[in-house]
Structure 1
Amino acid sequence: MEESYLGLKHSEGDANFKKQRELEDLTKELKEKANEVDYREDLYRDLMVVERKKNDELQEAHKALIDGFEHFMSHNRATIGIKRMGELDEKPFRDVCLQKLPKAELDVNSVQLCSLWQEQIKNSEWHPFKIRSADGNLHVQEINENDEKLINLKHEWGEKVYDAVTRALLEVNEYNASGRYAVSELWNFKEERKASLREAIEYILKQLKTHKRRRS
């Protein structure tokens, strides 16, 4: 009887010891996991700091290139240059005024008409856009063809002026929706798209080499 009691106590001791070991192992594993989580969080924060720094440097380089191009391109239209996003192209306004107005009134009226619609584009209270879903989740803003001002514009001044205004509206909505004024962007005029920093830098280097050869 006593031997049986001692055996039971021994078994209980083994079981308790085993549970204790399991608890210690689990505690150790949890501490290791916690340390790993802390390490990953620290690494993530460090990477975010590096990413923000790189983005800031890219923005500074982007601004410096735009400033340089605005000076350089003021006398020269080329493949890579500066486009004022949200700024109206005056040519469609001049063309339509040439068709509709006496030649003596052409310059003044085409400039006034273009300026009038540039002010409309700046007006933050006018929002001629509609939102549609793309790929289920992504929401895209596009021109609302049923906007009364745009309908009247197309009817009175034609398709080309309408296209110029809606293009400028989409640009300003993408680049400066809160301010609604035109902003400068590096632009590939040959391919009608935004130019990369690499393209802009390579273009500048190419122009410098050409200029150097001409002076030699």
Structure 2
Amino acid sequence: MEKQKADEYLLKVAEDQKKQIEKLNAKIIELEKQLDVKQEDLIEKEEALQHYEDLNDILIIKERQYFDELHGARSELLNFIKDKPRRGKFGVKRMGELDRTPFLEAMKKKYNEEEAVKRASELSSLWEGYLKDPDWHPFIAILVEGQEKQIINDEDKRLNGLKNEIGEGAYKAVVTTLRERKEYNASGQHIVPELWNYEQGRRATLKEGVQFLLEHTTIVD
């Protein structure tokens, strides 16, 4: 009887182990199916990602081509009109060039015409020299929406001296020149011609340039 009980116990243990193994095998099969599905999904996503990356590369190339074409057209337009007198609101502005007019206006308030011209020329030349001074940094950095931005330092002694001694007009002319050189030329040493909308005080669009040509160019059959 004891042997029979032992046999029955061993048989029960074997059956339980068989059931556990069957459950494990079923679980393994289920996991393998899920893995296959995930792998197929992953392959599809990788293919889609590759497609978007290829498309993005194509768009970048196209964007560069369009930029080069627009830049070339803008350069051709600028070269065409840069030596011609300004007509109306459209023309070429020399970005980073100091406007001497406010200096002359300030000197006319103190001196006769001849002396005013002389002193304005001297002051303008002096400030053009300051503008080329590599050791002068009248800008400070601030954060605007998490991005660093360079602005004119309101406490710059040289600029404040100009405002107090010569006037607001000369001060604004120098500040405008500083900003233009900062925007158009990082080294700040060169004058950069730009298509300009004088009426609105901004960079002219290529469309405005084309309209200007159509209005001021004589077409011969």
TM-score (normalizing by structure 1): 0.83
1:14 to 1:138, Cα distance in 2 relative to 1, 3 A: closer
Specify the alignment match of 1:168 in structure 2.
Answer: 177
- Letter of the structure 1 residue corresponding to residue 35 of structure 2: L
1:205 deviates by: 1.0
CA distance in 2, matches of 1:52, 1:115: 41
The residue matched to 2:187 in structure 1 has which SS?
coil
CA distance in 1, matches of 2:24, 2:169: 92
Specify the alignment match of 2:4 in structure 1.
Answer: none
8 Å contact kept, 1:123–1:180: no
CA distance in 2, matches of 1:179, 1:171: 9
Specify the alignment match of 2:80 in structure 1.
Answer: 68
8 Å contact kept, 2:93–2:194: yes
8 Å contact kept, 2:182–2:188: no
1:26 deviates by: 1.8
Specify the alignment match of 2:93 in structure 1.
Answer: 83
The reply on whether 1:119 has 2:129 as its aligned counterpart is yes
Specify the alignment match of 1:106 in structure 2.
Answer: 116
The reply on whether 1:137 has 2:149 as its aligned counterpart is no
Specify the alignment match of 2:6 in structure 1.
Answer: none
1:22 deviates by: 1.8
Number of equivalenced pairs: 209
Higher fraction of helix: 1
Alignment of 1:5-84 (within 5 A): 8=19, 11-72=23-84, 75-84=85-94
1:5 deviates by: 7.2
Specify the alignment match of 1:97 in structure 2.
Answer: 107
- Which of 150, 164, 169 matches 1:155? 164
1:6 to 1:166, Cα distance in 2 relative to 1, 3 A: closer
1:109 deviates by: 2.9
8 Å contact kept, 1:124–1:180: no
CA distance in 2, matches of 1:182, 1:45: 35
Percent identity of the aligned residues? 33
Larger radius of gyration: 2
Report Cα offsets for 1:18-70 as digits up to 9, x if no partner. Answer: 22222222222222222222222222222112212222222222222211120
The residue matched to 2:98 in structure 1 has which SS?
coil
Unaligned runs of at least 5 residues, structure 1: none
User: Could you say what the CA RMSD is over the residues aligned between the two structures, in angstroms?
Assistant: 2.6
Specify the alignment match of 2:5 in structure 1.
Answer: none
